[in-house]
Structures are given as structure tokens and as C-alpha cells.
Structure 1
């Protein structure tokens, strides 16, 4: 496996693309290109979680995909688990405001495409994947990749940014619903939501227009790629309604999707196994099935170019061996 950390900005260490490129082998695909998964960890736009980064990359790599982890711009500068004091208003940091994070996915896509030949990446089959805020970022990209916000910013053809699929774990999909739902909850929940708004949108109380703009479930079109969605019914931080709203929007526009809602599990499960758990409270064997189910879903779109039989089997049949 070829691993490399690529900085997206020369003067910043916190925004990076880490490659997990599988080595070519004469026994597997033998020089043919593989599909890829671009992963965005969560962290409330405050940081990028380690639990939703490399372990996810390794899981999809075990399925035969090249994987990439994007640590996009966050309020705490990429520090895993970093969180500011939300007991008082946060100062605005211009370098981590929307639409920066969405554009960074676009930049990562350009980097992957630029190296597609050397890395043997099938540039037409790159999926975006995310969790929590990272899933929101991936969903924003999936519903905006074709807009001028991305293509004109980079002065590149829109097709270079097209994702082939999206995988969203416990995503936030509707900021207006999130605002209305949070207002009914505890003061701590309200404080967290306002802090996240400041980190991502530059204000604790964004306008209705801005909240609508960053609600991907409200902007699904025929350009939106097929999606795999998963969540838990007991998630209290980002309620399951977000995944349901996204699924409803996809159904309305006849975009292929698959949705799995598991009964139990808190927010931020990652793989829901001990490999991504900080405590036993994050291990849920039932919810852990999401990854293998996602693998089955991906195979329908990202099947490998395999011959019917191996060269050894053909030699046995023709009598060259035996």
C-alpha cells in the first residue's frame, strides 16, 4: 500500500489528503484500475475525528478499493477531538467557513484524477464518503459538484468533479430542521449548535436563506449521485430524520439509494466495532453491519473488471497443466 500525506495548502499543515493506494499485483486485477473512496471524517466542523478516518479507509481497502482521507478545514485546525470553550461566543475564523470544506473535496478530487494513471484509479468511479459533519460535507458536495461554486473556483470542467456515488453515515441533511429541533432541547445542545454554526457559517444564528443553502436534502437534483445512507434510530445528536429526509428527496428525484436504520446506537459510531471505539458504549454489532452492506451496495456500481476464470484454471481446462 502506498501511503502519502498531501497538503492542500502550502502554508497549512491541518488540511491534508492521505492516500491509501493498493499496490498493483499480477494476482489481483493485474494492472487494471480500481474504484476509489474519498472519506471525510466528522467532528462538528470543529475537528476531524481519527475514528472516522484511517479505520474507515482500511475497511474499504479490504474490499479492494483505493481509499483517501480528507482532513478538511475545521475550527480547531484538524486536531482530532479538539473542541473550543462554547460557554462564550466563538470568534469567527475565516479560513474554515463554508464553502471552503466543499471546495476542498473538489480539490481532493482533482488531485486523485491528476494521479489516476500512476495510482491506477478508475477516475470515473470515485465515491465520496462521510460521517456526521463529514457526511454533511460529502452530501453538500454530492448536491453541488456541478455548480459554479466549485468549477468556476478552480477554473476546471465540471465533469472533473463528478462523484460516482456517496456514502453517508448519520448525516446532517437539513439545517432548518436541525435548528427547529435543537431549540426544543437542552441549553447544552443549543450552545453546541450555535458554536458549530459559528465555526462553519460564521454566525451563531444564520439566516433562513443560508440555512436552506447548506441543507443538501433541499437541493437534490438529477445531478445527485446514487447514495448509501445509514443511521441509528436512537441517535440523539443528529436525529435519524436527517437520513429520512435525504432518502425522501432522493426518492422524489428518482435517484437510486439504499437506506439502513439500525435500532440502537449513539451518534458517532464509526465502524461500530472495537476497532473504532473509545469505550464499550460505541460497540454495536448490529449497526456494525453497515459497512459490509455498503460493500454489497458498492459492488453493484463498482464491480471489478474480472475474467470468468483465472489463468491457472484455464490452463487446467486446456490440459497445459495436469
Structure 2
């Protein structure tokens, strides 16, 4: 495997990518093009959780996928959106322009987002697939599109009382544009298939978020697989010792940890892997 860091820039905002590229296997006797997953970690738009970066990337590597971690714009003196949306569009474009020697299957680009990163991925699955919105937010200049999305305990609707961000000031720090407040409303007939999971007992991002998203996917007739686990806190990542915070057993959940295997099955079922 070849692991490298890259710096890209959009609208005078520099952002970092971390690439985890699979090597070719000589025993195959021929070159293999691998799908690639772009991972957007969580962190409440104030930091990027490393628990949802390399551990997730390496697990997707083990499935036979390249992985790229994208550290998108966080809250600062300017709102997160639309810059974060543009950064994701540029990352997809950047992958499209990688040389053939990288052996990327560019028809199978998957977006995976967790928590706040899930909001970005969900927003892109709407605005990024709508020609009018692509033009409005200046992402129509970029090439490439995802083939599917994976959402883990994602922020979907930021207007739900009691759920993240549950603070009008923070809401406007994320976006002054109401278009980005309810990503379920951005879904359209061009949106991509989705694998979505969350826990019923998530007390930071209420489970109604994912229910709203999957309900809209269903109404539009879009392929979706949804798993609501009966227990578990927000931000479990794998729910195993790999991503457990030291001394905090609440980050262990053997049942919820099955989500990654379910996602693998879904990718194969959708012919996005294998």
C-alpha cells in the first residue's frame, strides 16, 4: 500500500487529503482497477475525528478499495458551506484526473461520511447531483460523480430541535443558506444509492435524521439500505477496541460493529465492489 498526503485548494481555502492506495498483486497476472472511497470524518464541524479516518480507510482497503480521507472546511470566520461542497467536488475531480497507473475504477467512486461528515456527503448527494444547484454553488466546473454513498450516524436535518446543532449561532456558522439545513430536501431523481446506519439511542444526532433521509429516498424510488441498531452512543466508529477511546467502554458495541460487514454486502449487491 502507498500512503500519501496531498494539499488541494479551493476558494483560497487549502485542505488536506490522505490517500491509501492499494498495490497491484502480481499473482493475479493482470492489472486490477479498484473502486475508491472518499471518507469525510465527523467532528461537529470543529475538528476532524481521527477515529473515523485511517481506521476506516484501512478497513475499506481490506475490502479491495482505495481510500482517500478528505479534511473539509471547519467552522471559522466564514460558514462551512458552500466551500465544503466545493472541496468535495474538487476531490472527486482530482480522483478522476489521477493517472491510469493508479488503477482506479473511476465509475465506482463511493462517498462515506460520518456525523458532520455525513451531512456533507448527504448534501452532495443532493446538491451535487442537481444541475441547477451545481451551477449555483460553482461545482459544475468539476468532473466526475459518485456511484453511491455510505452514511454513518449522519447529521441530515439541522433544524430538528434538541438534535445537533441545536444552537442557532452554530447553525449559521455552518451555513447561512437554508438550502443546506435539510439535506433530505436536496434529494432528487439523480441522487445516488445510499447505505445508512445509526443507533436508536444516539442522543446527539437524533435517529429521526436518518429516518427522514431514507423516507425521502424511498419516495423517490432510489435504492437505499437502512440499519437502525437498538443501542449505542453517537460516534461509535467501529464500536470495537480499534476506535474505542481509552478508558471509555461506552465506545464498545459488538452489535453495532456489524455495520461495516453489512456495508460490504451492500457494496457487492449494488455491484460497486468485486
Q: TM-score, normalised by structure 2?
A: 0.90
- 1:260-299 aligned within 5 A: 260-278=227-245, 279-299=248-268
Distance between the aligned counterparts of 1:14 and 1:259, measured in 2?
A: 35
Q: CA deviation at 1:242?
A: 0.6
Q: Is it true that 1:257 corresponds to 2:224 in the alignment?
A: yes
- 1:1-322 aligned within 5 A: 1-9=1-9, 15-28=15-28, 30-75=30-75, 93-94=77-78, 96-146=79-129, 147-150=131-134, 153-154=138-139, 156=141, 160-176=143-159, 178=160, 180-182=161-163, 193-201=167-175, 210-278=177-245, 279-300=248-269, 301-304=271-274
Distance between the aligned counterparts of 1:241 and 1:29, measured in 2?
A: 49
Q: Is the 8 A contact 1:4 1:19 kept in 2?
A: yes
Q: TM-score, normalised by structure 1?
A: 0.78
Q: CA RMSD in A?
A: 2.3
Q: 1:12 to 1:271 in 2, by over 3 A?
A: farther
- Higher strand content, 1 or 2: 2
Distance between the aligned counterparts of 1:11 and 1:144, measured in 2?
A: 18
- Higher helix content, 1 or 2: 1
SS in structure 2 opposite 1:107? Answer: helix
Q: Is the 8 A contact 1:135 1:171 kept in 2?
A: yes
Q: Is the 8 A contact 2:63 2:264 kept in 1?
A: yes
Distance between the aligned counterparts of 2:119 and 2:98, measured in 1?
A: 26
Q: Is the 8 A contact 1:46 1:196 kept in 2?
A: no
Q: Is the 8 A contact 1:234 1:264 kept in 2?
A: yes
Q: Is the 8 A contact 1:38 1:126 kept in 2?
A: yes
Q: Is the 8 A contact 1:126 1:163 kept in 2?
A: yes
- Matched residue pairs, number? 269
Distance between the aligned counterparts of 2:232 and 2:10, measured in 1?
A: 40
Give the structure with higher Rg (CA). Answer: 1
- Unmatched segments (≥5 aa) in structure 2: none
Q: Is the 8 A contact 1:174 1:212 kept in 2?
A: no
Distance between the aligned counterparts of 1:141 and 1:264, measured in 2?
A: 28
Distance between the aligned counterparts of 1:64 and 1:275, measured in 2?
A: 20
Q: CA deviation at 1:110?
A: 0.9
